[in-house]
Each structure stands twice: as structure tokens, then as C-alpha cells.
Chain A
Amino acid sequence: MNKPIRTLSLFCGLLFLVLLGNATYLQYVKADDLNGNSLNRRVIEASFARERGAILVDGDPVAESKKSDDRYEWQRTYPRPALFAHVTGWFSFFSQSGIERAENDVLSGDDPQLFVTRLVDLLSNAQPKGGSVELTLDPAAQRAAYDGLLALGEGTQGSVVALEPATGRVLAMVSVPSFDPNKLASHDLTSVRDADAALNARKDQPKLNRAIQTTLPPGSTFKLVTAAAAIEEGLYGPESQVPAGASYQLPLTSNEAGRVTNATGNACNPSTVTLKFSLEWSCNTTFAKIADELGVDKMREMSEKFGFNDTSLLDLPGQAKSAYPGDLDRAQTGLSGFGQSNVRATPLQMAMVAAGIANRGEVMRPHLVDEIRSPDFDSLGKSKNEVYSRAISAATARQLTDMMVGVVDQGTAGTARIPGIRVAGKTGTAQTGRDDIANYAWFVSFAPADDPQIAVAVMIQNSNRVNSEISGGGLGGPIAKAVMEAVINR
């Protein structure tokens, strides 16, 4: 009977080998996958039990974990909740957003860079702590942006994004209405559910980070892209005569809807003006004609160099895609020349356009994380400044800058003037074409024009004002000015 017993032992050996293999698969190969499963309560329980690292702005925590004496040992708190809510995001038992989600590995201490710290904790039997994340935000700029939006009054929906042109550092990112992430981080899970449901039920969507998650037609601020393409292609220079006029019938159309008119009085009525003048007075007819002359492919190419059609512009999750569609017909291309048709942009995207021009044509990839640190505040590495693209030549950028300074000095963007400093800017008012939805006000600018330290995009989606009172210069200009001053005068 020994032969079958030997066979049997081989078979049993095989069974155990399969068990070992499967355990390895489960606990090694597939472990990350299973630990990432949202049904797995352990991971979130563990992060609740652990001291999570802080999110810092200029050394001050805007999110930190404090000792708590209820069922979880550490309570996540946000000392200035409304001001930074959309950047930090929230850290709730059920979900995370913003930096809390993007930098979860560092904050929770699971990042490979914190391996040594973890090992030391393990050996010394100390409670593992998370690393901290220092943001690029400038507190003064952030405050100015937030106060500026709040000053527009109850019911304002809008956003401000400010970038440092040379590096891509995000200096301000604000979205209103804001919310209180403390309520979502509570250890009372029932009240968290209620608070979340209440936020989700609100029509003005406070949880939405309008800086990166809302795309709207950028209106006349998009004329910067059109002008950039025109100059870059050698079609026109700032002093070239360009077609203008009180109205322009789009190609392929013959009806009233296909007729482009201007928003700013009679300034654009001569049949030709200079390109500089046209930008200063925001002549729709000019830019519709230029866009048609350039064609949809050139327009799309230039847009994409500034970051359109890309969702990976920033180190934050959940970005909406700023779109310049590739399938526009001639009439739609004409409309796109002044930011209408199906062109849509986030405030971040328009800030990148301004920053790209300010940085001599080189668009830097925006980033919010400046540095990550170990729990002992040793630096584990600073974010690198990364070139996103070279959108236009330095010469083109200089010409555009001069034109934008003109827009502030002589044109529609006078509200952003700062005494003693050359400011470059561009207004935009995007018509929704509907009476029940207010027009969108845009404003992009940078300063000082000769040595740009900051580029700002302001977007106001809703301000409880009638359409005749809504203009990019009127609503956005003062906010942009305040944000730029906060950085320049620091």
C-alpha cells in the first residue's frame, strides 16, 4: 500500500502549496487592492485611530489632528474652515477630498518616504504619526480673495485662483459658498451623515471646488488665447490693422443668431482697428474673424498648450476638464474666438493662461503642495517646478503683455489699476443667453507686468445682480486687484 500513500503525500503537499500560494496572493499581491476597497472599514478606522499629519499654510496648520477622548483617539480639526475648505478638503469617516485625499499617504503615514519613521515607531513601540504637508498658498492672497468674493454679497458663487507665474505655485484658491469641514470630520457619524446630506441638498453646491470643478464659457478672457495664436502664427501684430465693425456675420450663417455684435459701445465700430485697440475694447467682431481665419485646429492647438482638454493640471483630485472641442464648424470656431460656443474653462485654467503669458510664454504646471515633512518636521522633499508647456514665444508673450497693460490702463480693466505698478489684465463677461441664468463675470490679470509675481483669475458664476450690472471688470477687477496687492506689497 506504500505506493498510493506516496502518491497521496504528493497530493497533500500540492494542496498545502496551493494554500500557501493563495495566502501569498491575498496578503501580498492583492493586499493593496483590498486595502483600498471602500468597503474595508479597517483602513479608515486605522486612520481615525492614528495621529494624522497637519496641512500647513506658511507654517500654520489649516488642518490638524487633536487628541480626543471619545472612541477614536484623534479628532481632525480645521481652524479656519471656510477659508481653506476647498483646498484641504474634508476627512470624514466615509470619504475624503482635496489635499486630505491627494496627500493621504503622507498624512496617514503610509507613504514609502515615511518608511524609516514607521520602522522607528514600530521598534520604539510609539504610536505611528503621519507626516505633514506644507502648501504653496499665500495666506494674505487667500484672505484677500475670500474677502473679495464675500464682499459681493449673499448668494455669490465664484472662485479665485492665483498662481506664481515663474513656478506654478498656487498662491490662492478660493471657492464660495464655502462649508465647514469640521462638521464632516466629526466622530458622531450620524451627525456627519446629516451634515453631508444637508450640504448635498443645497442648490448652490458648497462642496464644489469651483476653482477646478466648475467649467464655464470663459468669455472675452479667452481672447488672450486667440490673440496669442494670431501673433504666434504671424497673422497679426499688436499694431496691425485687424477687421472690426459693429457686427460680423459668422460663416455658414445668415440669421440673427449668427451675427456677432460687441458689448462695449461704439469703440469697435470702425471697419478696422489695431489688434491692441481691439483687445483693449474687447471687440467680439475682431476675434470672431481672427478665429475663423486661424481655423479650428490652430485654435485648439494653442488652447491645449495652455492646458485645455487635460484633467491633470494640478495635484488635486477631481478636476473638471477645460474644453476646447476639436470638432467645431466655422461658425462655432468664430464664436470660440471670444470664449463662447462650446469652449469651457475652469478658473485654474484661465489663471494658467494669464500666468503663461506673464512667464514669457512658458506655462508652469500648477501645484499646491510645497513640501512634505516627516512627523518630526524634517523635510522629505520640496515640490519641483515643472514646465507644463512652452505655449508661445517670449516675443509673443511680451507683445501680449503690453496689450494687456493697455487693457488696464486704457481699456475695460481699469478697476484693477494699482498706483505705481503696471498691471496686465483682461475682462470677460460670458453671456449665458438665458434670462434666468445670470451672465458669468471673468477677470484675469497679472502684476507687475515687467516682473510678474502673481497671476490671478476671478470667476463669478452668480452674484444676485441683474445682467446689466454684471461685467468682468466691475465685479472681478477689484478682487483681482486686492489679491495682487496682497502679494506685491508683502
Chain B
Amino acid sequence: MPRSQTGQPGFLGFVHRRRRGAELFLLIQALVVGIGGYAAVGIGVDGEVPTNILTYGGWLALLIIACHVTVRRTAPYADPVLLPVVAALNGLGLAVIRRLDLAEIAQAAGAGREPKTFATDQLIWMTIGVGLFIGTLSVLRDHRVLQRFTYTSGLAAIVLLLMPIMPVIGKETNGARIWVDLGPVGMQPGEVAKVLLVIAFAGYLVVHRDALALAGRRFFFVDLPRGRDLGPILAMWLISLGILVFQHDLGSSLLFFGIFLTMLYVSTERPGWLVVGAALFFAGAFFGYQVFGHVQSRVLDWLDPFRAWDDGSQQVGLSMFGMSWGGLLGRGLGAGRPDLIPYAESDFIVGAIGEELGLTGVMAVILLYGIIVERALRAALVCRDGFGKLVACGLGVVFALQVFVVIGGVTDLIPLTGLTTPFLSYGGSSLVANWVIVALLLRISDQARRPVPDLSSDEPSEAETTQVVKFA
């Protein structure tokens, strides 16, 4: 790499910096969170540092350093903050899941049954996720390549979304039909579908944005789109309704519709789409509330979490108890009773963090997510191509919506929906998909922050040996 191109003012005074050293510095702090959290869990529960701290810490460090080296090699200008934030969240999630495992092991020993643990699986999933992260960054040297797969990924996403409702492989868990059972492993195809959908939307919108943006009429100071351009939005609305109807999955239907709507708005720059979309969303939500018992009970549980306590609808209430018990500073890792919260290792992991790490911990987690979203949107802002802008924007909004829906759900801000908390929750599909999302965001930010090749240079360059076709 020519050193002269770093640290020098480039296009419009923009200073291109690699900041890989900063990334490494932040990554070491993230490792302290992950390994320190793991050690704290051992001290909190058993009174001693876990014996396998070295192998565990070594493995975690190896994964993180592998990520860093890959970024250094393949995406040197990528955003230096994203990876450390993700590493910190993933490490914290592992520690908290380990903490819940220890409670489960103690309880299972008391009841004389086999404990159901998650931490080891999660570490394996993280390894796979990091592998895919490295693979994505190594193989995909330019995100614009993805635009070629607009319709392929759209189709794949739809197939994935349909899989859970297919007879043999689809399976219902806790009232939502969002799982696929493929022999030894189960997966939630929706987690993968959301990445593919963002790519498909971006590819479609970047081509059709003018038609969607310019045609239409003004109605009460709002630019409304043309009827026939409403096609995609209606189709998306129907798909999300379908997910709500057939899979009983409020969270995903809200998420998919929300992503599409915001990407439509960003590509067309017309708030009218938001008005139409929001109207459709509320119509759909109202319809769902009227027709489906599970939507109604979720809304009633939200209004009064202690309403149906004796009928078993306790999860939000239990999570709120956990968080209030944690208070400002928390009970300390290993010193609370997060095992009293159902699904604490997946949907309700924020409740467990709130109990043992307190409001401080919850705020730190929310802020870390905020940083991810902010970094994604920043990549979208500086990105030079429309497709990249839309993908980065869509992925950022995926994060924002998912985090808002999940954390809002477990803290009784909005009705509870079943989504995972990115990087924290136990869940293979989610973790792997999110690592790929981070790889894509890093790729786009690398492209965006990289200096523009100086084509006016007199120096003979590699480019001149081949024919360069310039478009106006």
C-alpha cells in the first residue's frame, strides 16, 4: 500500500485514514469485556476463576484477532469501531449465557436431570460466524457485485421464509412457526432471509427509484405514489402479514416491513411512502389484533404485565422484576436470579443483563447497539454508490428495529415479539447472520472511506496497462 495516500487530505478535504491500530486497541478492550465477564461469572457463582479461562480466553482472542487480521488485509479502510463493538457484545453474550448455564447446571443437579446448556454451542456458532465473516470479506472484494444477485437473493429469501410452514421440516416452537429442522441442526431461516432481503430491496430500488420517486400526485401536502408503483409495497405488506398469519411471528413481520419501508423512503427521498406504509402497517396491526388471539394476548400483557399471572403469562413481568431487582448497578454477575426469567438465554437476555449488571449494563448495551447503527448509517452517508448506500442503510435499520423491538418488548415499552437480541442472544442462525451483516457493513465502509484512485496521475499505473473505459 502506498503510504502517501493515508493521512493526506483527499477528495473535498476528506482525510482518508485506515485506523487499524485504533481498531486493535479497541478490540483488546472488547476482549477484556468478554474474558473478564467470563471470569467474573466464575467468581460470582463458584467463587473462583473458571479453570478453563485460558483455553476459553485464548479461543476468543484467536477469533477476534483472526477478524482483525482479515480486516487489515482485505478491508484496510473499513470503519475501526464496528468490529470492537460487535466483539464486546458477543463476548458479553457468551459470559451471560455461561452464567445462565451454571444456574441451570445447579438446578438440574438438584432435580437429578440432564442440564440443558447453551454456552458451548454458542461458542461454536460464534466460530462459524467468524468463519463466515472472514469468508465474506475475503471473497467479496466489492459489495457492488451483490447487485447482480438482486432477484436471486429475493427468491432465496422468499424460499427461506416459506420453509418453516412446509410440512416435514417446519416446526413450531413456543407458538411461533419460525424454525426449520434439518436433521441435526435447527435454524431460523428468517435471520438469514433478512440479509438477503436487504440485498434484494437495495438492488431493486436502486434501479426503480426514479419511477417510484417522480410519479405521483400531491394530496394534502403529501406526495403520494402512483397506484401501480404501490405494487412492491403492497406485496411486502402482504408478505409480512403472511408471516404474521402463518408463522405467528409479530417481530419478523414488523421487521421486514419496516426495512422495506425505510429503504423505499431513502431511495426515493419521498416521505409519502412512509405515510402510506405506516397507514398500511397500522391497518395490518389492527387486523392482526382483531383476528388473532396471540396478538391480542400480547397487547394485553403489554398493557398489564401482571394480568394473567396465574395463567402462565409471566415472562415480561418476570423480566421486569429482574431488571428492577438489578437497579442502577446490578446485583453483580452470578449474584442475581436471572434463571427465574424464562428464555433468559435468548429473547430475554437483556433482562438477565439488567438484573446482574444493572441499568448501567443495559445502557451500555443499548449504546453499543446505537454505535453499530450510527456506524452503519455513516457508511451509508459516505458511500459513493447508491446500491451500497441502500444496503448499509438497510442493514443499519435492521439493527435499529430489531434492537428496539426486542429490548422494547422485554422492558414493556411495546408488546413483546419474538426476536433475538443481536450478538447477545443464544441462537446459531442469528449469530451467524449478524456476523455476515457486519462483514458487509465493513466492506461497504472500506469502499466508502477508501481514497478515490487518482486517475489524473502521470505516474504509470497498473490501470493504464489495460484499456480503461470512462463513462461521462
Residues of chain A touching chain B, judged by Cβ–Cβ distance below 8 Å, are 1-6, 8-9, 12-13, 15-16, 18-20, 22-24, 26-28, 30-35, 37, 39-43, 45-46, 71
Q: Is B320 an interface residue (CB 8 A)?
A: yes
B328: which A residues are within 8 A, CB to CB? 27-28
Q: A12-B396, A13-B370, A26-B323 are in contact. Are A19 and B404 (CB under 8 A)?
A: yes
- A128: shortest Cβ distance to chain B, in Å? 11
B413 touches A45 (CB 8 A): no
A34 touches B380 (CB 8 A): no
Residues of chain B touching chain A, judged by Cβ–Cβ distance below 8 Å, are 110, 262, 265-267, 269, 306, 309, 317, 320-328, 336-337, 340, 354, 358-359, 362-363, 366-367, 369-370, 373-374, 377, 380-381, 386, 389-390, 393, 396-397, 400-401, 403-404, 407-408, 411-413
User: What 3 A-B pairs are tightest by C-beta distance, nearest first?
Assistant: A34-B324, A27-B359, A31-B324
B363: which A residues are within 8 A, CB to CB? 20, 23-24
- Starting from the known contacts A16-B373, A22-B413, A39-B321, 7 additional A-B residue pairs (CB-CB under 8 Å) come to A8-B262, A8-B266, A12-B370, A15-B404, A16-B367, A34-B321, A39-B306
A4 touches B269 (CB 8 A): yes
B370: which A residues are within 8 A, CB to CB? 12-13, 16
CA distance A39 to B324 in the complex (A): 13
Q: A22-B413, A23-B366, A26-B411 are in contact. Are A12 and B324 (CB under 8 A)?
A: no
Q: A20-B366, A26-B320 are in contact. Are A1 and B325 (CB under 8 A)?
A: no
- A307: shortest Cβ distance to chain B, in Å? 38
B309: which A residues are within 8 A, CB to CB? 39
A42: which B residues are within 8 A, CB to CB? 321-322, 325, 336-337, 340
CA distance A16 to B372 in the complex (A): 12
CA distance A177 to B386 in the complex (A): 84
A8 touches B393 (CB 8 A): yes
- B181: shortest Cβ distance to chain A, in Å? 34
B358: which A residues are within 8 A, CB to CB? 27
A26 touches B412 (CB 8 A): yes
B327 touches A45 (CB 8 A): no
B325 touches A5 (CB 8 A): no
CA distance A28 to B358 in the complex (A): 10
CA distance A16 to B367 in the complex (A): 8
Partner of A12, one of B322, B367, B397: B397
B369: which A residues are within 8 A, CB to CB? 16
A27 touches B323 (CB 8 A): yes
Interface centre among A5, A30, A35 (most CB of B within 10 A): A5
B374: which A residues are within 8 A, CB to CB? 9, 12-13
CA distance A32 to B266 in the complex (A): 44
B265 touches A4 (CB 8 A): yes
CA distance A165 to B337 in the complex (A): 49
A45: which B residues are within 8 A, CB to CB? 337
A43: which B residues are within 8 A, CB to CB? 325
8 example contacts (A-B, Cβ-Cβ < 8 A) are as follows A1-B390, A4-B269, A5-B377, A5-B393, A12-B373, A22-B413, A40-B321, A46-B325
Q: A42-B321, A45-B337 are in contact. Are A19 and B408 (CB under 8 A)?
A: yes
B380 touches A5 (CB 8 A): yes
B209 to chain A: closest residue by CB: A1
A22 touches B411 (CB 8 A): yes
- B112: shortest Cβ distance to chain A, in Å? 15
- A122: shortest Cβ distance to chain B, in Å? 9
A32: which B residues are within 8 A, CB to CB? 324
A34: which B residues are within 8 A, CB to CB? 320-321, 324-325
A2: which B residues are within 8 A, CB to CB? 381
A37 touches B306 (CB 8 A): yes
CA distance A134 to B340 in the complex (A): 36
B396 to chain A: closest residue by CB: A12
B337: which A residues are within 8 A, CB to CB? 41-42, 45
B262: which A residues are within 8 A, CB to CB? 8
A4 touches B266 (CB 8 A): yes
Partner of B389, one of A1, A24, A27, A46: A1
A26: which B residues are within 8 A, CB to CB? 320, 323-324, 354, 411-412
B340: which A residues are within 8 A, CB to CB? 41-42
- A33: shortest Cβ distance to chain B, in Å? 8
- A36: shortest Cβ distance to chain B, in Å? 9
A39: which B residues are within 8 A, CB to CB? 306, 309, 317, 321
Interface centre among A4, A6, A22, A35 (most CB of B within 10 A): A4
B269 touches A3 (CB 8 A): yes
CA distance A39 to B313 in the complex (A): 13
B404: which A residues are within 8 A, CB to CB? 15-16, 18-19
B355 to chain A: closest residue by CB: A42
CA distance A3 to B400 in the complex (A): 18
B329 to chain A: closest residue by CB: A122
CA distance A5 to B309 in the complex (A): 43
Q: A8-B266, A16-B373, A26-B412 are in contact. Are A35 and B323 (CB under 8 A)?
A: no
CA distance A26 to B413 in the complex (A): 10
Partner of B359, one of A3, A5, A28: A28
B309 to chain A: closest residue by CB: A39
- A108: shortest Cβ distance to chain B, in Å? 14
CA distance A242 to B110 in the complex (A): 78
CA distance A2 to B386 in the complex (A): 10
Interface centre among B362, B389, B401 (most CB of A within 10 A): B362
B359 touches A8 (CB 8 A): no
CA distance A42 to B412 in the complex (A): 19
CA distance A5 to B265 in the complex (A): 9
B306 to chain A: closest residue by CB: A39
A23: which B residues are within 8 A, CB to CB? 323, 354, 359, 362-363, 366, 407, 411
Q: A6-B381, A15-B400 are in contact. Are A31 and B411 (CB under 8 A)?
A: no
A27 touches B354 (CB 8 A): yes
CA distance A4 to B274 in the complex (A): 11
A35 touches B362 (CB 8 A): no
B205 to chain A: closest residue by CB: A1
B382 to chain A: closest residue by CB: A2
CA distance A16 to B408 in the complex (A): 10
B407 to chain A: closest residue by CB: A19
B354: which A residues are within 8 A, CB to CB? 23, 26-27
A1 touches B321 (CB 8 A): no
A6: which B residues are within 8 A, CB to CB? 381
Q: A27-B354, A28-B359 are in contact. Are A5 and B321 (CB under 8 A)?
A: no
B327 to chain A: closest residue by CB: A31
A24: which B residues are within 8 A, CB to CB? 359, 363
